[in-house]
Amino acid sequence: MSVWIDADCIHCDLCAPECPNTAIYRAEQQYQVDAELCTECVGFYNKPACIEVCPLDCIEFVSA
Ligand code: SF4
Ligand code: SF4
């Protein structure tokens, strides 16, 4: 259960502060999600907070 950030990320830093699990971190090329920490916001919000705030829609669900 996780989301991932694709190459369109522009490092705007809107998503990371919204994550209740501090799962989002800045990597060299783009922001990334630690799949061990991401719960897709279950227990905190009805929708993933990072997806809600990302202006580029570059955060997606990891397909099972
Ligand atoms: S879906 Fe929620 S828990 Fe997962 S990275 Fe985004 S804000 Fe964090
Ligand atoms: S909100 Fe979107 S564009 Fe901004 S840092 Fe996060 S993933 Fe990248």
Nearest residue (CA) to ligand 2, atom 3: 9
| pLDDT score at 63 | 73
Atom of ligand 1 nearest to the CA of 22: 8
pLDDT band, residue 64 (cuts 50/70/90)? low
Number of domains in the chain: 1
Per the structure, the complete domain to which residue 58 belongs is given by: 1-64
Alpha-carbon gap, residue 14 to 6, rounded angstroms: 15
User: How does pLDDT run across 2-61, given as a tens digit for each residue?
Assistant: 999 999 999 999 999 999 999 999 998 899 999 999 999 999 999 999 999 999 999 999
In terms of Cα–Cα distance, which of 15, 50, 22 is closest to 37? 22
Nearest residue (CA) to ligand 2, atom 8: 9
Q: Which CATH number is 41's domain given?
A: 3.30.70.20
Alpha-carbon gap, residue 58 to 50, rounded angstroms: 10
| pLDDT score at 29 | 83
DSSP letters, 1-62, are: --EEE-TT-----SSGGG-TT--EEE-SSSEEE-TTT--TTTTT-SS-HHHHH-TT--EEEP
| pLDDT score at 1 | 87
